[in-house]
Structure 1
Amino acid sequence: MSQSIHADTVLGQLKLKVSNLERSVQFYKEVVGFQILNLQEKSAELTVDGQNIFLILEEIPNAAIPPRRSVTGLYHFAILVPTREQLGLSLRTLAESGIHIGQGDHLVSEALYIEDPDHNGIEIYWDRPRSEWKTDSEGNIMMGTEPVDIKGLLQLAGDKPWTGLSAGTILGHLHLHVSELPPSKVFYCDILGFDMVFDASKMMGAYFISAGGYHHHIGMNIWAGIGAPQPLANATGLAYYTIVLPSQTELERTLGKIKDAEIPLAAQNDYWVVRDPSGIEIRLISAK
Structure 2
Amino acid sequence: MATHFHQKPNTYVSHVQIKVSNLDRSIEYYQNVIGFKVLERTEQTAALTADGETSILSIEEVKDALPLQKGQTGLYHFAILVPTRKDLANFVQHISELNVPIGTGDHHVSEAIYLYDPDGNGIEVYADRPEEQWIWNGNMVYMTTEPVNFRSLLAIADGTWKGLPEGTVMGHIHLSVSDLHKTEEFYTKALGYEVVTRYGSRALFISTGKYHHHIGLNTWESLGGSPAPENSVGLKSFTLVLENKEKAEIIKKNLREMGYVVEYFESAPKLGGRQDFSTIDPSGIRIIFTLEGE
TM-score class, shorter-chain normalisation, is over 0.9
Which aligned pairs between 1:241-252 and structure 2 lie closer than 5 A?
241-252=238-249
Aligned residues: 278
In 1, Cα distance between equivalents of 2:140 and 2:184: 16
Identical counterparts, % of pairs: 40
Provide the rounded CA distance (Å) in 2 between the counterparts of 1:233 and 1:9: 27
Q: Closer, same or farther in 2 for the Cα pair 1:200/1:66, shift >3 Å?
A: same
Q: What is the DSSP-based 3-state SS (H/G/I as helix, E as strand, rest coil) of the residue aligned with 1:117?
A: coil
Q: Within 2, Cα distance between the matches of 1:102 and 1:215? A: 20
CA root-mean-square deviation: 1.4
Query: Deviations 1:69-93 (Å, cap 9, x if unpaired)?
Result: 4200000000000100000011111
Q: Secondary structure at the match of 1:156?
A: coil
- 1:145 maps to 145
**Pairing 1:196-275 to 2, within 5 Å after superposition:** 196-202=195-201, 205-268=202-265, 269=267, 270-275=275-280
Give a deviation string over 1:173-198, Cα, whole Å, max 9, x none.
Answer: 11110011111011001111100001
Task: Write out aligned runs for 1:117-196 (5 A).
Answer: 117-136=118-137, 139-159=139-159, 161-196=160-195
Q: Which letter does structure 1 place at the counterpart of 2:108?
A: L
Distance 2:29 2:89 in 1: 19
| Residue of structure 2 equivalent to 1:3 | none
Gap runs ≥5 in structure 2? 1-7, 268-274
Q: Return the offset for 1:140.
A: 1.4
1:259 CA displacement = 2.1
Which residue of the partner structure matches residue 279 of structure 1?
Answer: 284
Residue 261 (structure 1) shift:
2.0
2:60 & 2:292 partners in 1: Cα distance?
A: 25
Paired amino acid for 2:204: Y
Q: In structure 1, the residue corresponding to 2:87 is in which secondary structure?
A: helix
* Offset from partner CA, 1:18-71 (integer Å, 9 cap, x none): 01111100000011010111122221111111111111111101111113x420
Give the Å deviation of 1:7: 4.7
Report the Cα distance in structure 2 between the residues aligned to 1:123 and 1:211, rounded to whole angstroms.
Answer: 20
Q: Which runs of 5+ in 1 are unaligned?
A: 1-5
> In structure 2, what is the Cα distance between the partners aligned to 1:258 and 1:42?
32
- 2:89 aligned residue: 88
Other structure's SS at 1:186 match: helix
CA deviations 1:131-161 (Å, max 9, x no partner) are 110023x5310000111111122121133x2
Say which of 15, 21, 28 aligns to 1:13.
15
Q: Hey, what does 2:43 align to over in structure 1?
A: 41
Decide whether the 8 Å contact of 1:95 with 1:101 is kept in 2. no
